[in-house]
Amino acid sequence: MQVCLSACLPQQAAAQCDASCDSLFEASDCGSSWWERSTLSGDWCGLRSCLEDKGYTWDIYNTNFYSGITTGGLEQTFRYRGRVDMLLSIDGKKVGLWDGLTFNLHGESVFGSSINQFSGTILPVSTAQILPDGNRSVTALTNVTFTQALSESVLVQAGKINTLDGFVQPFTGGANGIDGFQNLALCFNPVLVLAFPYSCFGAGMVVLDENQEAVFSAFVYDTNNTPTVSGFDTFFDNGVSTFVSGTLPTKFLNKPGHQMVYGLYSSGTYNNLDPNPYFDPSGGLVLANPDKTGSWLLAYAFDQALYVSPDDPTHSWGVFGNLGIADDNPNPFNWAANIGIGGSNPLGNRPQDTFGIGYFYTGVSEPLKQLAPILLPLRDEKGVEMFYNVGVTPWCHVTADLQVVEPSRERADTLLMFGLRAKIDF
């Protein structure tokens, strides 16, 4: 039986797709090599291209983690955790609406047992294993937004926003821990965790330069994190978080880089033991500081390429760093910093491979340390992470990850964690 729907395909694509396409997983998918195609399922015998032509672009990937704490932490154990992410982008003009309009949706499902609960750290050693809603298995629609281009340089956005989808710093592999670093302290600055929800209602604007890079953004977010519910029943009932950022693209050493400053102020009421998607510090603590209204943070981030391939500018490696400060209460972290190096394989013989080595230090706030100095003494958290991501095929990447972390819980010894991560793009 032939699966090619020629009525949906451009004439040229339909001509390529013949009776040999009777499975999405054939070695040849309408002329493409199974090993060279960008996704495992290929072009769906032309259907995928047809949908893109009509305005619907799918990005589907499955990520699997097998992680183990070999020494230290709370328990020496290995655990499997998996997740599926489904992203859909809809071009408003192509579906019959108007030019410059885009709809974006992000659904995610996570299952298995997270390694984070055995680490003794206050921040997750694997960010992707706790999203979208902690260590439990769950399915959620975390992003439903519309973006409207007012001009070539100004965009406005509104809806239910997955804040990490657009929070990407070069050479780190992204903020969600799926392609690069896994420890939250190297994915993004931990001073954000209190008042920067993962999935919430929000609206704002972005200004782009002539290279279509964001140089300024300003957003207002609901303080309630609502990844697994609609959020309408708690809509802005605990104030708002205002986030502003400015980025200066640079050309030091005649290579691209960025200098970024961002800040956030929230009018919400918080407690520094309030659990959120990124961490739950309350394990074992029976005391609590009083609730406090208002929280702020200020941070600086940079990245600088040290090498850029003359044949492909997307293949580069360089250095990055972050430094953030925040209020001492209710924010559980009054300062945090990281620095590292990463990017494409520096040897150049495997262009699909990436690597990263980073160090982080997270300063736990004094009010949180003083809550239970005898029952559950806390200290600052610091560590090193290194990874190497092997591009087995364009659609399959396998990553070896090693972390050495001194947990914030003083009763937990310095841990050594080794993990394997396999990501398959469908």
- Determine the 3-state secondary structure of 348 from DSSP: coil
Query: pLDDT tens-digit profile of 219-239?
Result: 999 999 999 999 999 999 999
Q: Count Cβ neighbours within 10 Å for each residue of 396-425 and write b for 16 or more, e otherwise.
A: ebebebebebbbbbeebeebbbebebbbbb
List the Cα angle 126/78/171 in 5-degree steps: 30
Q: How far is CA 360 from the centre of its chain?
A: 17
CA distance 73 to 407: 7
CA distance 297 to 194: 10
pLDDT at 276: 79
CA distance 194 to 256: 32
pLDDT at 265: 98
Residues 399-403: what's their mean pLDDT?
98
Residue 1 — pLDDT band, cuts 50, 70, 90? very low
Instruction: Give DSSP secondary structure letters for 222-277.
Output: ESS--SSS--GGGTTBTBEEEEEEEEEEE-GGGS-EEEEEEEEEEEEEE-TT--BT
Of the listed ranges 25-34, 142-151, 167-176, 197-206, the least confidently predicted one is 25-34
Round the average pLDDT of the chain to a whole number and report it: 90
Residues 131-147: what's their mean pLDDT?
94
Residue 2 — pLDDT band, cuts 50, 70, 90? very low
pLDDT at 275: 78
Residues 88-103: what's their mean pLDDT?
97
CB 328: neighbour CB atoms within 10 A?
16
Query: pLDDT tens-digit profile of 253-263?
Result: 899 999 999 99
Contact 156, 148 (CB under 8 A): yes
Place of tokens 């809603």: 133
CATH, range 59-425: 2.40.160.180
Maximal CA-CA distance, the chain: 74
Which residues does 174 contact at the CB level (< 8 Å), separation at least 6? 164, 168, 180, 187
Does an H or E element contain 291, and which?
none
Residues 273-301: what's their mean pLDDT?
79
Q: State if pTM tops 0.95.
A: no
CA distance 182 to 400: 11
Amino acid, single-letter form, for residue 368: L
CA distance 308 to 318: 9
Domain definitions of the chain by residue range: 1-54, 59-425
pLDDT at 288: 66
Query: pLDDT tens-digit profile of 346-395?
Result: 887 888 999 999 999 999 999 888 876 666 788 999 999 999 999 999 99
